[in-house]
Structure 1
């Protein structure tokens, strides 16, 4: 059963103040808990009849592979995020999920989700909020790649990750632990690894942030936010909307 103190609960609490029966329905979602090593594929693009998953611990990347073998990372999932929820309705996964670190995931079959939603309609609304928020982040990432400069998109992406992590009690406005390599960042930002290295050096030299030894440190948060034109409204995590 999912504890009310874990990352999933913390994330959903941002939207709705669930009652005891709704917490109970949430706890009954998983069929089993699975641990996977870094680099293991969780779901592959085109896979049918798969379960959704709740990420309980670790980091995951969601991505699409192009015919020439190049990869576009859509986003990184952190504890509290759902994996493959949309594909339960579409029936076929339109992208892949891979463990970035060692992960612990809870397998959630479609029948469990539908039963929980029937028992607790407000839980369904909270999960819909989580899915809508994920879609809003993808839209922002599209703007990042299409319109922002390399340095602004990198700053924006790292600020967004920090904001998401603080929601589940990880890190602070001073920084956060981050297991991502420059190659992973490059595939997420639509840049080469060499370009990412150059941009991170610029941010460090401008005394805005440092990303090294698997940690992002903010040195001048206000200036970084101004550079990235970062606004948190699309993350919609200021306070619960439903009591």
Structure 2
């Protein structure tokens, strides 16, 4: 589905960015904040199911997720989809296209998504004039690699039950750090098809696996997604140690 994107005149000043108040993210130096504020061109609103970037496309822009959920994925020629990772507030989107010339994966909105828009042609200024921000970009890319390592381990070596427990625990922790739950119920806006496409399982196998998690009172499936009832229990079942608490950068 390719739902139209909306370029909005609304612009959240970087000085008032809601992500800056979260303990998850490091603070900008005054000169860095001034540069990022000038670097930002505007904001993009994408409806659920809308395409942010398409595999093989060339984009003039980089994006930072300001609000909402999305995911990265690749498609096979016969239409089968592999979801690679999920994007949340603070994540950088489109860096691969900036450095490689074209996107090697697609990015889609999972919920209503708000993105800060940056001119990718100015990325060189980050490396020339702001070495701390350049390090941050490198850190973000390295962290993405680290996450993909864990995902690959999960798909290759964990059982179906452990894979599902790991994925839901991972998404829950990341969303908590990004304040996506906003003190409301801990619910992930995901379908069973998304989970199947992430774990490399059939939809039937996925359904049976999620029922087992529900029977253990770890999750509850709802109309709007998956409610997490016991995140610690999911993590123990998966054998995953969890995310390391740290102050991470964002652009």
Task: Give your verdict on TM over 0.5.
Answer: yes
Map residues 33-48 of structure 1 onto 2, 5 A cutoff.
33-48=43-58
Distance 1:239 1:30 in 2: 22
Corresponding residue for 1:178?
Answer: 188
Q: Is structure 2 residue 234 aligned with structure 1 residue 209? A: no
Aligned-pair CA distance for 1:55: 1.5
Q: Is the 8 A contact 2:191 2:225 kept in 1?
A: no
* Local SS of the residue matching 1:34: strand
**Equivalent residues in 2 for 1:96-107 (5 A)?**
96-107=106-117
Provide the rounded CA distance (Å) in 2 between the counterparts of 1:175 and 1:141. 26
**Match of residue 82, structure 2, among 69, 72, 91:** 72
**Aligned twin of 1:164:** 174
Query: In the aligned structure 1, how far is the partner of 2:156 from the partner of 2:204?
Result: 19
1:131 aligned onto 2:131: no
Q: Deviations over 1:33-83 (max 9, x none)?
A: 111222222211111254221111222121101011111111111122111
Gaps of at least 5 residues in structure 1 are none
SS state at 1:31 partner: strand
Give the Cα separation in 2 of the matches to 1:10 and 1:143.
34
Post-superposition offset of 1:115: 2.1
Post-superposition offset of 1:216: 4.2
What RMSD in Å do the two structures reach over aligned CA positions?
A: 2.5
Give the structure 1 partner of residue 5 of structure 2: none
Once residues 45 and 182 of structure 2 are traced to their aligned partners in structure 1, the CA distance between those partners, rounded to angstroms, is 27
Unaligned runs of 5+ in 2: 1-12
Partner Cα distance (1:199, 1:96) in 2: 27
Instruction: Return the alpha-carbon distance in structure 1 between the equivalents of residues 164 and 224 of structure 2.
Output: 16
2:66 to 49, 52, 56: 56
* TM-score normalized with structure 2 length: 0.83
Instruction: Tell me, in whole angstroms, the C-alpha distance in 1 between the residues paired with 2:169 and 2:15.
Output: 28
Contact residue 68 and residue 180 of structure 2 kept, 8 A: no
SS of the residue corresponding to residue 246 of structure 2 reads coil
In the superposition, the TM-score normalised over structure 1's length comes to 0.86
Distance in structure 1 (CA, Å) of the matches to 2:111 and 2:25: 28
Distance in 2, Cα, partners of 1:103 & 1:40: 9
Distance in 2 between the 1:97 and 1:169 partners? 21
Instruction: Tell me what 1:83 maps to.
Output: 93
Q: Aligned residues, how many?
A: 237
